[in-house]
Structure 1
């Protein structure tokens, strides 16, 4: 039930576009908040995996001190033989899939 690197890369691209559209289009912002799965599917042909809990709220509407929550699954440690290959793959994916946020 995991999400692959390609899906995460696509998600980053779609989310940036959706935020920009929501800033420019109040009707889309309402649609995104009321049914984010349908909005992302309709406007960006992006399907949020059904097993993922997903909602969109405006940052100003979060209670003070509360932040968005994202649960990430840490994959099992690869065996010693595969460790260098897996590490190199992760580093390559990270280098190619920066979201453009200042933290990257």
Structure 2
């Protein structure tokens, strides 16, 4: 799914802009993904000479599987 979202952002300018301004709505509209209100979504767009390193939460300190995301069951 992650790859599908990225590919759509590369090819659909409106989706990319909505993903930045209202990511939950963009994901709901494009992929039918409903993300709970208690989950915060932020987008970061890398530039050619940037690399964003995302450090996930320590699994021993959270109550969900970080490999599946907090909204997955």
Task: Using structure 2 for the length normalisation, give the TM-score.
Answer: 0.63
The residue aligned with 2:21 is 34
Written as runs of structure 1 = structure 2, the 5 A alignment for 1:17-32 is 17-32=4-19
Answer 1 or 2: higher relative contact order, Cα 8 Å, separation at least 6: 1
Structure 2 spans left out of the alignment, 5+ residues: 62-66, 69-73
The residue aligned with 1:86 is none
Q: Return closer, same or farther for 1:59/1:65 CA change in 2, 3 Å cut-off.
A: closer
More helix by percentage: 1
The Cα RMSD (Å) is: 2.9
Match among 68, 78, 93 for residue 54 of structure 2? 68
Aligned length: 62
Bigger radius of gyration among the two? 1
Task: Using structure 1 for the length normalisation, give the TM-score.
Answer: 0.47
Structure 1 spans left out of the alignment, 5+ residues: 1-12, 76-93, 98-104
Q: How many angstroms apart in 2 are the aligned matches of 1:23 and 1:65?
A: 17
Give 1:33 deviation, angstroms: 0.8
Q: How many angstroms apart in 1 are the aligned matches of 2:11 and 2:51?
A: 27
Where 1:52 maps in the other structure, the secondary structure is: coil
